[in-house]
Structures are given as structure tokens and as C-alpha cells.
């Protein structure tokens, strides 16, 4: 069985690398010529722990190939995974134009029965519409070929994408075709052997499971973040509150870490898309709407916290602030919808100078935030960013930020404020002694 993947980003590339490591012949296709060239040269265009090694093995074994040709990937493959982006449109709905392009290409080049697997996150109803659209295109072209469509949402987390793809929490397969179901069972044979939970549903349910999961996690984060703001005012400690709540296994301790607000390429867009799905079905989803609003408020609260501590006569003019971490979470180079950007913009607006350092996110930041390139100073290390600064703002909990000669860092600074927006150092005596220390959700 040959597998094709259309869209070679965080999901498509990781999935391609993992499936080829199981011995499948996989072709990954992308419209981004530079990305494919990079991959053909044996380099990963993204930072994801364990990925480069996996790619190297599959390339060496000849199981993984990369192409920009839709014709090649479609005609060579029995199963075609769609892993293109489904970003948010202005109105919050999902932009399905990349998915439409792929379907049109499949209709053009189809040369036999295909199983089309929707891995991209798509609003409920999309997979069924894909099946109908493809049927119409094939009928118009008087084609005898046919395809089955499966919704098989992806739940991997960035920074842990390889381990998550190798060992997923669950596999959801939405299909009404027994042939397609068998095909997916063959592809996920390894997971079946390892007793990964499988759930078979219809197309709509599978699509909803993806949005429901991300929305629920976003709600959990906004819930704890709101309580963190109150805790600061009443002398309670949010980390202990989360621990205490999490001891109840109905609540679970996961996703209760207070911080600057959630970000990334999924939660912000998927919660918005979920609202849009609700609206299109005459349902106002109050809880998700509130989670989004609380997330926006959380980022503003972080800016206020910094500004209240540092501003003189209502301005940050003349203050230099070191930002540690740009990526939306550790172990990724991805800065899409990173809270760091909102906070940097807020500080710049109030007149501050901003020095930044991120172990992996700086190249993307320079590219994606190019309008701000003359206002953001990119530094060689976190220590360099702190030199002559009035404050450090820790945005992302990269492991390397943990171990420092804190007295030395403090000595090179002009001020001594330390805003730990990830609560990395709440119990670190040295950091608390050395700096005027601010955390999230405790005093």
C-alpha cells in the first residue's frame, strides 16, 4: 500500500516520517518549493525533537520521498492524507481554500480507487462535502474512478509531535466505507497492536471530536488563568490550587498551568472555528466564547502587570525589557499566535525597548514579524538580552532558562524585575532573592 501526504507541515511531515518508519512507502508533497528542496537535501524545515533522525532513517531506507508534483503523489498513492493548513479567516471561520485546491488536483489526476484521509482540522460537514464535491468533479469529467473519504483528525502536540504520532492517545476514524476502514486499520496496525484506543464514528462526529477536544482544553486553561488573577488579589497560590483540584481524578491535573494565555496554531483558530460552527447552526457557544475572551484578557493582564511595576508617569519610555522565549511553547520553533507577540506589541506601544531571545523561534519571528524588525532587538542568548535591561519577562518555559548564574545575570542588568509568566521559578529561592520577582497567580 502506497501512501501520499499532501501538505508537508508540522502534521504532514511528522506523519509521513512516522508512517515510513513503519515500512510504508510514503510520498510527501507540498506547494512550497523551498521546503521540498530542503527536505530532499535531508534537512528538516521545522524544529521538532526526534524528527530529523526519523527522516534520516526513512530517506536512507528509500521509504520516504518528497515532491512538489500533485500528479506524482496522487497517481503513485492508494491512500492520500490531506494535511494542508486550515487557518482562520477574518470572520473566524476556517479557510478551506487549500483543501479545495487539493480536491481539485485529486479530481484532475486520479487514476484508480483512492482513500482520501482528512488529517487537517476541518469544520463539521467538510469531509462529507469533500466527498460530494469530488463526485461532482469526477462525474463532470466522465471519470470512472471513485474515492472514499475518511475523517481521521490528528491530536499531536508540537514539541512532542514525533512521540505523539508514534504513540497517540487515541485514533479516531470517521467513515461509512468498510473498505476505507480496513485500509486505515492496515495503516494503523502498529497502534492496534499496542492497544491504542480506536473509535469508529461517522464523518461529522470525528470532525467534532477534534474541535471539542481543543475547545475543552482551551476552556480549562482560561478557567485556571481567570482564577490566577483572583488568587493574586486574595493571597492564594494558583499552583497549589491546581494541584489540589487535580487530585480529584474527575478534574485531572493536566492543562491547569496558569500562564500568559494559550497560543499556537491550533487553540486560537479552532476555538474561533468552533464558535463559527455554532453560529452557522444558530447556537451561541457561551463557554467557548468566554474562554476566548478570558484568553485575550489574560494577555492584557500580563501587559498591565509589567507596566504597573515598571512605568514612570504612565509610560515605559526609556525602559528596556528582555523577553525570554518567543515560541508559543517550548521545544518548537513555531511562533504562530504566540502570546509573546501580543505582549511585545503591548510593551512597544507603551514606549519600551525590547530585547528578545528564543532558542528556536527567532528565525520565524524575524520573518513573520518583519514589520517590527527595526523595533525588536534579537539577541544571541537570554543572558545577552538581559544586559542593561530593566526587567526580564519569561514568556516560554524553555528548559535552558532554568540553569543560570543568577547573581551574574542580575549584575549585568540596570533594573531587577523578573516577570515569570510561566511560574518556572516560584519555589526557586535564589531567583526570588536576586530579583523583584513576579509570578502568575500568587504573590
Ligand X SMILES: O=c1ccn([C@@H]2O[C@H](COP(=O)(O)OP(=O)(O)O[C@H]3O[C@H](CO)[C@@H](O)[C@H](O)[C@H]3O)[C@@H](O)[C@H]2O)c(=O)[nH]1
Ligand Y SMILES: NC(=O)c1ccc[n+]([C@@H]2O[C@H](COP(=O)([O-])OP(=O)(O)OC[C@H]3O[C@@H](n4cnc5c(N)ncnc54)[C@H](O)[C@@H]3O)[C@@H](O)[C@H]2O)c1
List the catalytic residues. 266
**Among the residue ranges 85-93, 176-184, 261-269, 362-370, the one whose residues contact ligand X (CB under 6 A):** 261-269
Query: Residues in the site for ligand Y, rule: CB under 6 A?
Result: 6-12, 29-32, 35, 83-86, 98, 101-102, 120-121, 154, 156, 158, 265-266
CA distance linking residue 357 with residue 258, whole number of Å: 22
Dist. CA 191–CA 151, nearest whole Å: 17
Choose between 76 and 334: whose C-beta lies nearer to ligand X.
334
For ligand X, give the closer residue by CB, 183 or 239: 239
Residue 121 marked as a ligand binder? yes
Distance of CA 302 to the CA centre of its chain: 21
Closest by CA position to 86, among listed 164, 132, 151: 151
In the chain, how many H helices and how many E strands? Answer: 18, 14
Annotated ligand binding at 263? The verdict is yes
Taking CB within 5 to 8 Å according to partner kind, which of ligand Y, ligand X, none is near residue 214? ligand X
- Interface with ligand X (CB under 6 A), residue from 47, 66, 262, 438: 262
How far lies 227's CA from each of 135, 216, 334, 397, in Å?
51, 17, 28, 21
**Shortest approach of ligand X to residue 441 CB, angstroms?**
11
Q: How far is the CB of 70 from ligand Y (least distance, A)?
A: 6
Residue 276's alpha-carbon distances to 88, 206, 223, 272, in angstroms, are: 10, 18, 21, 6
| 322-351 residues near ligand X, rule: CB under 6 A | 328-329
To ligand X, the closest distance from the beta carbon of 75 in angstroms equals 30
- Residue in 86, 8, 30, 10 with CA at minimum distance from that of residue 334: 10
Q: Does 214 bind ligand X (CB under 6 A)?
A: yes
357 closest CA partner among 377, 335, 330: 377
Q: Verify binding: residue 221, ligand X, rule CB under 6 A.
A: yes
Closest chain position to ligand Y (CB) = 9
> Which CB, 127 or 434, lies closer to ligand Y?
127
The reply, when asked if residue 258 is annotated as ligand binding, is: yes
Selection from 208, 209, 177, 172 nearest residue 191 by Cα: 172
Annotated binding residues for substrate, written as ranges, equal 210, 255-259, 263, 329
The residue ranges that bind ligand X (CB under 6 A) are: 121, 154-158, 214, 217, 221, 255-257, 259, 262-264, 266-267, 328-329
Amino acid at each position: 500500500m502506497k501512501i501520499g501526504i499532501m501538505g508537508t507541515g508540522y502534521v504532514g511531515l511528522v506523519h509521513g516520517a512516522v508512517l515510513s518508519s513503519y515500512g510504508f512507502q510514503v510520498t510527501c508533497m507540498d506547494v512550497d518549493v523551498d521546503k521540498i528542496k530542503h527536505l530532499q537535501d535531508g534537512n528538516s524545515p521545522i524544529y521538532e525533537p526526534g524528527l530529523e533522525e526519523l527522516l534520516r532513517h526513512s530517506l536512507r531506507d528509500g521509504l520516504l520521498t518528497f515532491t512538489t508534483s500533485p500528479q506524482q503523489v496522487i497517481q503513485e498513492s492508494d491512500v492520500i492524507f490531506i494535511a494542508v493548513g486550515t487557518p482562520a479567516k477574518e470572520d473566524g471561520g476556517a479557510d478551506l481554500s487549500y483543501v479545495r485546491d487539493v480536491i481539485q488536483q485529486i479530481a484532475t489526476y486520479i487514476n484508480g480507487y483512492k482513500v482520501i484521509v482528512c488529517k487537517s482540522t476541518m469544520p463539521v460537514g467538510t469531509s462529507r462535502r469533500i466527498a460530494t464535491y469530488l463526485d461532482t468533479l469526477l462525474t463532470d469529467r466522465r471519470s470512472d474512478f471513485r474515492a472514499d473519504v475518511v475523517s481521521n483528525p490528528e491530536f499531536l502536540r508540537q514539541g512532542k509531535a514525533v512521540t505523539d504520532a508514534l504513540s497517540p492517545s487515541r485514533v479516531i476514524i470517521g467513515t461509512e466505507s468498510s473498505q476505507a476502514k480496513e485500509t486505515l486499520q492496515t495503516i494503523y496496525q502498529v497502534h492496534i497492536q499496542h492497544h491504542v484506543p480506536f473509535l469508529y464514528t461517522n464523518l461529522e462526529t470525528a470532525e467534532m471530536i477534534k474541535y471539542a477536544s481543543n475547545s475543552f482544553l482551551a476552556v480549562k486553561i482560561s478557567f485556571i488563568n481567570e482564577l490566577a488573577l483572583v488568587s493574586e488579589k486574595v493571597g492564594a497560590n494558583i499552583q497549589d490550587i491546581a494541584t489540589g483540584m487535580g487530585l480529584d481524578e474527575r478534574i485531572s491535573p493536566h492543562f491547569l498551568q496558569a500562564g500568559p494565555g494559550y497560543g499556537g496554531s491550533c487553540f486560537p483558530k479552532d476555538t474561533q472555528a468552533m464558535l463559527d460552527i455554532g453560529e452557522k447552526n444558530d447556537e451561541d457557544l457561551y463557554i467557548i466564547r468566554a474562554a476566548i475572551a478570558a484568553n485575550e484578557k489574560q494577555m492584557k493582564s500580563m501587559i498591565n502587570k509589567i507596566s504597573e511595576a515598571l512605568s514612570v508617569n504612565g509610560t515605559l519610555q526609556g525602559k528596556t525589557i528582555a523577553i525570554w522565549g518567543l515560541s508559543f511553547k517550548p521545544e518548537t520553533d513555531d511562533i504562530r499566535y504566540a502570546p509573546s507577540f501580543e505582549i511585545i506589541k503591548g510593551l512597544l506601544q507603551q514606549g519600551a525597548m525590547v530585547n528578545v531571545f528564543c532558542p528556536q523561534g527567532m528565525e520565524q519571528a524575524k520573518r513573520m514579524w518583519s514589520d517590527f524588525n527595526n523595533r525588536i532587538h534579537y539577541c544571541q542568548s537570554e543572558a545577552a538580552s538581559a544586559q542593561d535591561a530593566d526587567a526580564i519577562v519569561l514568556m516560554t518555559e524553555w528548559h535552558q532558562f532554568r540553569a543560570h548564574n543568577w547573581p551574574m545575570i542580575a549584575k549585568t542588568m540596570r533594573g531587577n524585575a523578573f516577570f515569570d509568566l510561566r511560574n518556572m521559578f516560584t519555589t526557586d529561592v535564589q531567583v526570588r532573592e536576586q530579583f523583584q520577582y513576579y509570578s502568575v497567580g500568587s504573590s
